[in-house]
Amino acid sequence: MDEMEKRMEREQKESEIRTLINKLSAPSSDIGDWKVVKCYEAKLQGHDLPYNLDELMEKRQKVRDRINELQKELESE
């Protein structure tokens, strides 16, 4: 793999990391922080959770795992 290909691959991984981080925090994301906050607020008020927290946390963890995987790949380059 030549230098240009390596640079492009690195940029692609960095872009994917940014996209995944945004997915965790974006207000329009189906796994965004806002859903966790809404569940926390409901719990504090003694209400039913508005979302399936187990499913939400599982999806969020998969995203975090992928971020960690990409970061390790970048560190080893």
Write out pLDDT tens, residues 20-76: 999 999 999 999 999 999 999 999 999 999 999 999 999 999 999 999 999 999 999
Report the pLDDT value the prediction gives residue 10, as an integer from 0 to 100. Answer: 97
What is the DSSP code string of 31-75? T-HHHHHHHHHHHHTTPPPSS-HHHHHHHHHHHHHHHHHHHHHHH
Q: What's the pTM value of the predicted model, to 2 decimals?
A: 0.89
Report the pLDDT value the prediction gives residue 9, as an integer from 0 to 100. Answer: 96
